[in-house]
């Protein structure tokens, strides 16, 4: 099957002259329909920027985003409209993603009417109620006449999901969709999103800084780890969690707290050489992780940007130091 | 159909209730309504007194002549009632036009960016540099403002730059908000984004700016009339002051009523409109709307 979304050498730079930073650097990946892909990384690693470029809300400096095999910049207007409706985004902050001057009804019926999903206003209202039920906002009748400020953060986030669902999307970019929601309702929203995956065949690009969350949401899917604008490792979630190959992925995993004390004791801790994330304005040469990496090999890691190499166990990794060498380096 | 009427009725009653939350603002609102009713409907009931009565020159206010009489013994009250319509009409046209230009081109500049933005801001800066009053004075030498609609359009065409800048900067910050990005992702169209997402969020500001433009236009046109730059063609508060002034009303103690009454009428109208804006702030805030 052809990938629904593919990005090739996607690069985004911000600013001019000395202030110029490369937020996303030659990122390439492909997402098949029905897959769930998590984009993981620390803040500032370019994961949100990548998400916004995939959703067509931000123009790439170079590289291309392909929708069903075609560059989104070269789509004719009908095809672009289809792309716009197929690919939706859910923002991180439910307090700024809903217009404070519109009722929930207005927020949901506008896209329904605009794209002729329903015949008239009455039908739009009925459809909006249905969608609210889908995102577990019940009783929907109580919610629909309200303004966003009358709802809690979790409820607002559900409305944001409902709004995206009005145009029957097949691909949703969820940009830190639950990180601003109270922990207590995070799981129920994640469960709801997971249900959408199955019920509506929605493909997810789930962006998060929380590897534990990625593990939970994309257990059957894939995880892509980004560091300072580049992909350092990707692969099927279960492989990546159980057998991480990049030192950065290993460090991230060892930082995830383990609930089971038995497991926690035996967890392999990885000592970083530095905790500071380098500034995007002054990136280290070669592999940008080398100043913090415990397996740093002078002359090799800081010489050239390591390429992503395919792994026989699935996925790709960008590290010039082989696994066999690392053991000796730690001693 | 019934639903629409009910919706409008509900909106109206909620708005009125919200406006009562600020006492001063609500009094301003009532006073503005009263002045509008008197000026627009009053002339049909109160005939303009045009008869010269030599025995009643410069009378103080009395039961017969509420605001006293002028130099020909004519009733000042009837002149005040008849003189408001044109002043308010010109001010309203000016305020509508300037607000319309400012909102349309301000959001356009913010949205389109690039050359369109530079172009609009360039024109704005130039207009902003031109001193309005001297320009109008010079123009009055070439154009006769005998049609008050033209006068209103003219005032409006010169008074939009300050508001345009404010609208542009608000639109610039609003367009970065996530809900605007979501509207783009949903392909709702530029019209929807501007009029449904951006403008409602600037409504408080726009309405207040509208009332301020209204008061500014009142002063400008009265000033023009007073200086004699606009031909005196109809009875109008500005014309009344101008006539009283040129006929030396300030030198006679008895003539005080004649010059004070139109001044008071203008001041009262301005005060009412300005205080009303306090209530307008409340009426356009969706947060308060749901508390009723």
- Please name each of the domains of chain B with its CATH number: 45-273 (1.10.3720.10)
Residue A166 to chain B, least CA–CA distance (Å): 9
CB-based contact, B178 to chain A, within 8 Å: yes
CB-based contact, A74 to chain B, within 8 Å: no
pLDDT at B282: 83
How far is it between the farthest Cα atoms of chain B?
78
Q: Per-residue pLDDT tens for A186-224?
A: 889 999 999 998 888 899 999 999 888 898 888 889 999
> Kind and range of the H or E element at A22?
strand A21-31
Tokens of A104: 């929930």
Of the two residues A322 and A288, the one the predictor is more confident about is: A288
Q: How confident is the model at residue A82 (pLDDT cuts 50, 70, 90)?
A: very high
CB-based contact, B288 to chain A, within 8 Å: no
**Chain B residue closest to A96 (CA)?**
B178
Which chain A residues are within 8 Å of B188, Cβ to Cβ?
110-111, 114
Cα distance between residue B96 and residue B163, in whole Å = 12
Q: Cα torsion for A119, A125, A128, A129, to the nearest 10°?
A: -130
| Strand ranges inside A110-221, DSSP E | 171-175, 203-208
Residue A165 to chain B, least CA–CA distance (Å): 10
B187:A96 CB<8 A: no
CB-based contact, A160 to chain B, within 8 Å: yes
Q: Per-residue pLDDT tens for A227-246?
A: 999 999 999 999 999 889 89
Closest by alpha carbon to B210, among B287, B128, B274, B121? B274
CB-based contact, B185 to chain A, within 8 Å: yes
pLDDT at B28: 92
Residues 167-186 of A with CB under 8 A from B: 167
Residue A213 to chain B, least CA–CA distance (Å): 23
- A 10 A CB-CB count for A174 gives 28
Contacts of B251-256 spanning 24+ positions with Cβ under 8 A: B252/B58, B254/B57, B254/B58, B254/B60, B255/B58, B255/B71
pLDDT at B233: 58
pLDDT at A331: 53
Closest by alpha carbon to B287, among B29, B14, B26? B14
Q: Per-residue pLDDT tens for A93-124?
A: 988 999 998 999 999 999 999 998 988 999 99
Cα distance between residue B269 and residue B257, in whole Å = 18
A100:B287 CB<8 A: yes
Tokens of A10: 């996607």
Of the two residues B275 and A257, the one the predictor is more confident about is: B275
Tokens of B30: 């009532």
* Nearest residue, CB atoms, B192 vs list A93, A101, A110: A110
A110:B188 CB<8 A: yes
What's the predicted TM-score (pTM) here?
0.81
CB-based contact, B115 to chain A, within 8 Å: no
CB-based contact, B285 to chain A, within 8 Å: no
Q: What is the mean pLDDT of residues A168-179?
A: 91
Which chain A residues are within 8 Å of B182, Cβ to Cβ?
89, 91, 97, 160, 163-164
Backbone angles phi, psi at A79, to 5 degrees: -70, -35
Tokens of A326: 């690392």
pLDDT at A54: 94
Q: Per-residue pLDDT tens for B164-204?
A: 999 999 999 998 889 999 999 999 988 898 888 888 888 88
Residue B23 to chain A, least CA–CA distance (Å): 25
Contacts of B118-127 spanning 24+ positions with Cβ under 8 A: B120/B164, B120/B168, B121/B165, B121/B168, B124/B161, B124/B164, B124/B165, B125/B161, B127/B158, B127/B160, B127/B161
Q: Per-residue pLDDT tens for A267-300?
A: 667 778 887 888 888 888 889 998 888 888 888 8
B187:A100 CB<8 A: no
CB-based contact, B289 to chain A, within 8 Å: yes
pLDDT > 70 fraction of chain A, expressed in percent and rounded: 98
Residue B197 to chain A, least CA–CA distance (Å): 7
**Chain A residue closest to B3 (CA)?**
A122
pLDDT at A180: 85
pLDDT at A128: 94
**Chain B residue closest to A92 (CA)?**
B178
Question: Helix, strand or coil for residue A245?
Answer: coil
pLDDT at A316: 92
CB B76 within 8 Å of CB B140: no
Ranges of chain B whose pLDDT falls below 70: 1-2, 145, 231-234, 290-292
Mean pLDDT score of chain A: 89
pLDDT at B159: 87
Of the two residues A270 and A144, the one the predictor is more confident about is: A144
Measured CA distances, A166 to A171, A195, A263, A286, B144 (Å): 13, 16, 44, 45, 58
Residue A101 to chain B, least CA–CA distance (Å): 6
pLDDT at A208: 93
Cα distance between residue B124 and residue B118, in whole Å = 10
How far is it between the farthest Cα atoms of chain A?
72
């Amino acid at each position: 099957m052809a990938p629904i979304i593919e990005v090739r050498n996607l690069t985004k730079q911000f600013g001019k002259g000395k202030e110029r930073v490369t937020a996303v650097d030659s990122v390439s990946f492909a997402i098949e329909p029905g897959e769930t892909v998590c984009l993981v990384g620390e803040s500032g690693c370019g994961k949100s920027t990548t998400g916004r470029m995939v959703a067509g809300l931000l123009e790439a400096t170079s590289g291309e985003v392909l929708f069903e095999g075609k560059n989104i910049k070269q789509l004719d207007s009908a095809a672009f409209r289809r792309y716009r409706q197929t690919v939706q985004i859910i923002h991180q902050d439910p307090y700024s993603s809903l217009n404070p001057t519109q009722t929930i009804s207005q927020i949901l019926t506008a896209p329904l009417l605009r794209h002729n999903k329903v015949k008239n206003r009455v039908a739009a209202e009925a459809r909006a109620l249905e969608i609210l039920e889908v995102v577990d906002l019940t009783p929907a009748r109580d919610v629909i006449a309200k303004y966003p400020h009358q709802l809690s953060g979790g409820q607002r986030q559900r409305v944001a999901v409902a709004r995206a669902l009005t145009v029957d999307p097949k691909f949703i970019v969820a940009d830190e969709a639950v990180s601003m929601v109270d922990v207590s309702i995070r799981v129920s929203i994640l469960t709801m999103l997971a249900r959408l995956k199955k019920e509506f065949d929605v493909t997810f690009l789930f962006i998060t800084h929380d590897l534990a969350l990625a593990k939970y949401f994309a257990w059957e899917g894939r995880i892509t780890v980004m560091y300072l604008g580049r992909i350092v490792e990707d692969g099927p979630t279960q492989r990546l969690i159980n057998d991480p190959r990049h030192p950065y992925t290993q460090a991230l995993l060892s930082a995830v707290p383990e609930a089971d004390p038995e497991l926690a004791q035996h967890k392999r801790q990885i000592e970083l050489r530095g905790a500071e994330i380098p500034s995007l304005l002054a990136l280290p040469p070669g592999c940008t992780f080398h100043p913090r990496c415990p397996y740093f090999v002078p002359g090799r890691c800081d010489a050239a940007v390591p390429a992503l190499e395919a792994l026989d166990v699935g996925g790709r990794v960008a590290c010039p130091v082989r696994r066999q060498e690392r053991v000796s380096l730690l001693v | 159909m019934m639903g629409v009427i009910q919706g409008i009725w509900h909106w109206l009653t909620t708005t009125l209730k919200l406006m009562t939350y600020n006492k001063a603002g609500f009094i301003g609102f009532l006073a503005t309504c009263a002045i509008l009713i008197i000026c627009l409907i009053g002339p049909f009931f109160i005939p303009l007194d045009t008869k010269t009565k030599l025995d009643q020159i410069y009378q103080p206010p009395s039961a017969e002549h509420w605001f006293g009489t002028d130099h020909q013994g004519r009733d000042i009250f009837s002149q005040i009632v008849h003189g408001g319509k044109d002043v308010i009409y010109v001010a309203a046209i000016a305020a509508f036009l300037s607000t319309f230009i400012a909102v349309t081109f301000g959001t356009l500049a913010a949205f389109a960016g690039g050359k369109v933005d530079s172009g609009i801001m360039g024109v704005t800066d130039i207009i902003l540099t031109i001193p309005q009053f001297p320009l109008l004075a010079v123009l009055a030498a070439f154009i006769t403002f005998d049609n008050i609609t033209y006068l209103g359009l003219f005032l409006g065409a010169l008074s939009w730059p300050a508001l345009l800048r404010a609208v542009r900067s608000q639109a610039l910050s609003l367009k970065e908000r996530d809900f605007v990005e979501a509207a783009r992702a949903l392909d709702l169209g530029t019209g929807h984004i501007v009029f449904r997402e951006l403008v409602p969020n600037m409504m408080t500001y726009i309405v207040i700016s509208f009332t301020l433009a209204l008061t500014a236009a009142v002063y400008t046109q009265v000033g023009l009339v007073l200086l004699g730059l606009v031909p005196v063609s109809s009875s109008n508060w500005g014309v009344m002051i101008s006539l009283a002034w040129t006929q030396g009303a300030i030198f006679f103690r008895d003539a005080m009523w004649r010059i004070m009454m139109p001044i008071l009428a203008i001041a009262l109208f301005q005060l009412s409109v300005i205080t009303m804006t306090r209530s307008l702030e409340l009426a356009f805030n969706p947060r308060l709307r749901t508390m009723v």
